[in-house]
Amino acid sequence: MSSPEQVIQDVLADLPRHRGVVVDSPPGAGKSTLVVRAAAHIAATGEPLMIVAQTNEQVDDLVTRICERHPDLTVGRLSAGGYVPPLRLLELSGVTVGTRVQDLGDPDIVIATADKWAWISGRTWPWAIVDEAYQMRSDKLLRIAALFDRALFVGDPGQLDPFSIVDGDRWSGLSWDPLQSAVSVLLRHNPDLPVHRLPVSWRLPASAAPVVSRAFYPFTGFRAGTQPHERRLELSTGGMGTVHDRALEEAARSGWALLELPNRHTVRTDGEAVEAVALLAARLLQRGAVASSEQGERPVTAERIAVGAAHRDQVAAIRNAGVPPEITVDTANRLQGREYDVTIVLHPLSGRRDATAFHLESGRLCVLASRHRHACVVVARAGIAELLDAHPSAEPVQLGVPVKFPDGWEANQAVLDHLAAHRV
Amino acid sequence: MSLLTSLARLRALDERIAQPIATVRHCHLSERPMVLIPLRMSGEAAAPLAAMLGTRREDPRLLVVTQPRNRDLRFAWAADLAAELLPYIDGFLAGTETVERKNADPYERVLDAPQLLVPNQTGIAFIRLLGRSTRFRRADGPYPVPETVPLLGRWLTYFGERAAYPGSSLMAAATEELGRHWASGQSGLEDANLAALMAWITTGPSDDAEDPLVWPPAGPATDPGFDAEVLAPAIEAGAAERITEALRGQLEPTWRLMWQAVDLLRGLPEGASVAQRWEQDRGSFSAMAAHIAEGAPPQARRDGAVAAASRLARMERAQAAYEVQRAYDDPLVMAEYRLTGEAFAGEVVETEPEHSEGEGRSRKLRPLVVVKTDDPVRLAPGTALGTPQRRGQGAQLVEARDGLVTVKITKGMGRGKTPAPGSVPEVGERVCYTSLTDDFQGSPALPEAEATPWTHGGPPREYTPSDEDALEEWS
């Protein structure tokens, strides 16, 4: 495998040679760093650049990163009418915020969400960077593709596929299926475009990178950027020997823990599981976890902890169960692209009677299992392996649709298999 | 399946009779629907065998292909079908109203539109296939067909596509519509059997529904026993009369069921938003009629990149609107959202009708209402709310704790210093508020098809009718 620096060099070298360049990035592999570097690289040529991200938070993050790294660049942040820029954005010099391109002056870089870009017309940019391009539905790309001549597409192929509330079967198999991701459609029409891969995850610890890589990136693979001894999680106060404490201790020691509840079919907002998740979160704070890594030593404060679940009602139930308010509690969809020290995950299949395509989607579990720098605690009811065995993927096979890897069923089994060794 | 529907199914199983899961009818039901029961020859995807159709229950028309393997006969059958359906469709084109539009020319909209009722989803799929196989045919060139056949194909395609459009009632499947209003004690797959579902709703489950001799399948697939023992010998003997009478026997029970289903649905009062959705159906139907009158080419075989994206945007919007409207129209549907915490209902225990915010000129009236509820409220402060009791009103959640929810009314209480009479609920009134709201943003423009960008394969080739079209397999 080539070094990350080499990959970035190759990407930058490819930019002027092709109409489009795709970069696949596993979780925490320095995607944002790449975007910032490519942005500066293009801006240095003096040609205007547009950047497309998917959510307002992603846009704000990118603006902040670009301005911090390259204070000399001017950045225009396009937004919708109701948008209130966060304070950190207003403090940056060189950033203008506006709802129309004309209001921004003539900045080096204009950046907005794909939804906002879709309303812009009457001007084109020689360059574009599309961030989180695998999260973007191809119909969104269709609306904005006329705005740029050349583009760099960056994203994580292992995350959640875009979706729709309506049945899109009538388009499946078409090369421009609007429900496919922007990258899939782009590559189907332009198969000769170069695809690069970032080979190292800086986020995932050595305990997680091989697991996630094997389960969710079986063919492309990646490795951890740190050695096992470089990341340590310590609990500064002693435990009381409860299952919750033991789960936290196991997670601190090994990077993973599975808190298994008795096998039972439950409603989605399973009271016991919700309570366990909330208790774990509260207990983790009480026990004063300290994380040491290549970035130095710091306490694991509430902002560094996330709780993830599959459904919104589960998220609401967990929040109501008394999780300290500073801890992020959210669905897999919304945790995409975020990073924490410790995550606590309610397994999507916990307590279920069936395994639907929604719950089997490999991206969902991948997002939940790859947000952490130190440890991940999974809460699940026993019996998921049997549930999986009883529900092999039975989706109809559509003609003309490329086979998707990894298979959600298999990925789920692989993760479970690994977690079994860390059961409490 | 939602929690309430699951509960209703369990209760149906327990009480041996289907349970209502809606208090109003969520689909439009025409005064004069065209009931259409198509049958297909087994073994081929789109080979018509027969159809029973008509707008009056005492007068079904039966159309039969006496030798379904003979393609000439199939097209003759399609022409017969056209002779029944096209006059029915044309009958609605006479009465129109002029609709004014913002930023566009006014257009003519029909006052009423046709409605096709088929037994089940597979029936709709078959109609779509029939449309697909007839709309590219031509009255000249090789293998000519009667002029009405391609026209029929375009209408069938239209109805088939419209049936996939959320909330549309132009073509409906009886099992689907019944299943939206009643929960039986059987699985969703079993609900696709019209006879079984009707039995659950009317008299309770019955084994007869599984017996093809009592209740022949509602089509388009036929009973294999009937195929082997009755139909095949009759076709081999070339006895047209025998075939027709045999198929009449297969279709008549379903015909009676279909009209019973119509009666059942008609027994429910119409939901408040149904007329609005039917208006869209009428508009869409008028546009299609205008399209045909202008001599536009038949619908494309596949959606191009731009057409697909635009259809998806329309369908997503319709789906979202349909769900919201159903909840607003029907307390039983709203109950699902109350269970998931997206809505809450309760009694008003306190009001502050003249509460206001801001000072001087920016002073705004913001009446406060406190609702006592037992529902689990999972909405964050600041969430925009709507209420079925006062449709035009907008509100915002201020605070929710201990079963008391404070709501601030932000829209729809008049412009005066005091709220318009009746706009603020009184103490003791039962109200429901929900985060579901029906105001959607328009979607941004798509490029013209000729300007399809390189990322999506560039501009598509234009369709030109050719003799090749007639050589397509019609099976």
Average pLDDT (A310-337) is: 88
Contact B355, B397 (CB under 8 A): no
What would the DSSP string read from start to end of A133-160?
TTSSBHHHHHHHGGGEEEEEEEE-TTSP
Q: What is the pLDDT of residues A217-256, one digit of tens each?
A: 988 889 998 998 899 999 988 888 899 999 999 999 999 9
Predicted confidence at residue A204, as pLDDT, reads: 94
Q: CA-nearest residue of chain B to A317? A: B378
Strand, coil or helix: what is A127? Answer: strand
Predicted confidence at residue A164, as pLDDT, reads: 85
Average pLDDT (B259-266) is: 95
Residue B174 pLDDT class (50, 70, 90 cuts): very high
Q: What is the pLDDT of residues B82-129, one digit of tens each?
A: 999 999 999 999 988 998 888 888 888 999 999 999 999 999 999 999
* Torsion angle (degrees, nearest 10) of CA A60, A63, A66, A68: -80
Instruction: Find residue B387's DSSP bridge partners.
Output: B390
User: How buried is residue A81: exposed, middle or buried, by Cβ count under 10 Å (0-12/13-18/19+)?
Assistant: exposed
Q: At B263, which helix (H) or strand (E)?
A: helix B240-266
Average pLDDT (A177-182) is: 91
User: Least CB-CB distance to A176: which of B166, B376, B456?
Assistant: B456
User: Least CB-CB distance to A142: which of B320, B378, B446?
Assistant: B446
Give the closest residue to B116 by CA, choosing from B94, B146, B136, B86. Answer: B86
Q: What is the pLDDT of residues B424-436, one digit of tens each?
A: 898 999 999 999 8
φ, ψ at B287 (rounded to 5°): -65, -40
Pick the CATH number of B343-434 from 3.40.50.1000, 2.60.40.10, 2.40.30.20, 3.40.50.1360: 2.40.30.20
Q: What is the pLDDT of residues B310-361, one digit of tens each?
A: 999 999 999 999 999 999 999 999 999 998 888 999 999 999 988 888 887 7
B454 vs A contacts (CB less than 8 Å): 19, 145, 189-190
User: How buried is residue A311: exposed, middle or buried, by Cβ count under 10 Å (0-12/13-18/19+)?
Assistant: middle
Structure tokens at B5: 């529907």
Is the minimum CB–CB distance between A270 and chain B shorter than 8 Å? no
Higher pLDDT, A49 or B140: A49
Is the minimum CB–CB distance between B314 and chain A shorter than 8 Å? no
* Torsion angle (degrees, nearest 10) of CA A83, A87, A93, A95: -10
Give CA–CA dist A255/B448, Å, rounded. Answer: 52
Predicted confidence at residue A378, as pLDDT, reads: 95
Asked if residue B472 has pLDDT above 80, the reply is no
Which residues, 6+ apart, have CB-to-CB distance to A67 below 8 Å? Answer: A73, A75, A92, A93, A94, A95
Predicted confidence at residue B391, as pLDDT, reads: 86
Amino acid (1-letter code) at residue A407? D
Is the minimum CB–CB distance between A390 and chain B shorter than 8 Å? no
Give the closest residue to A110 by CA, choosing from A93, A122, A127. Answer: A127
Instruction: Find residue B36's DSSP bridge partners.
Output: B53
User: Least CB-CB distance to A142: which of B166, B302, B309?
Assistant: B309
**Rg over CA atoms, chain A:** 22
φ, ψ at A331 (rounded to 5°): -80, 165
Average pLDDT (A274-283) is: 94
B446 vs A contacts (CB less than 8 Å): 142-143
Q: CA-nearest residue of chain A to B341? A: A313
Give CA–CA dist B388/B391, Å, rounded. Answer: 5
How many residue pairs bridge chain A and chain B with CB atoms within 8 Å of each other?
88
* CB within 8 Å: A178 and B308: yes
Measure CA A269 to chain center. 24
Residue B418 pLDDT class (50, 70, 90 cuts): confident
Helix%, strand%, coil% for chain B, nearest 5: 40, 20, 40
Which residues, 6+ apart, have CB-to-CB distance to B319 below 8 Å? Answer: A165, A166, B166, B167
Residue A1 pLDDT class (50, 70, 90 cuts): low
Is the minimum CB–CB distance between A12 and chain B shorter than 8 Å? no
Asked if residue A371 has pLDDT above 90, the reply is yes
Domain residue ranges in chain B: 3-331, 343-434
Predicted confidence at residue B36, as pLDDT, reads: 96
Give CA–CA dist A422/A416, Å, rounded. Answer: 10
Provide ipTM, 2 decimals: 0.87
Q: What is the pLDDT of residues A62-117, one digit of tens each?
A: 999 999 899 999 999 999 887 888 888 888 888 889 888 888 888 999 999 999 99
Predicted confidence at residue A92, as pLDDT, reads: 82
pTM score, two decimals? 0.89
User: Least CB-CB distance to B457: which of A115, A182, A189?
Assistant: A189
In angstroms, what separates the C-alpha of B40 from chain A's closest C-alpha? 22
* CB within 8 Å: B447 and A121: no
Contact B313, A179 (CB under 8 A): no
Predicted confidence at residue A213, as pLDDT, reads: 92
Contact B218, B37 (CB under 8 A): yes
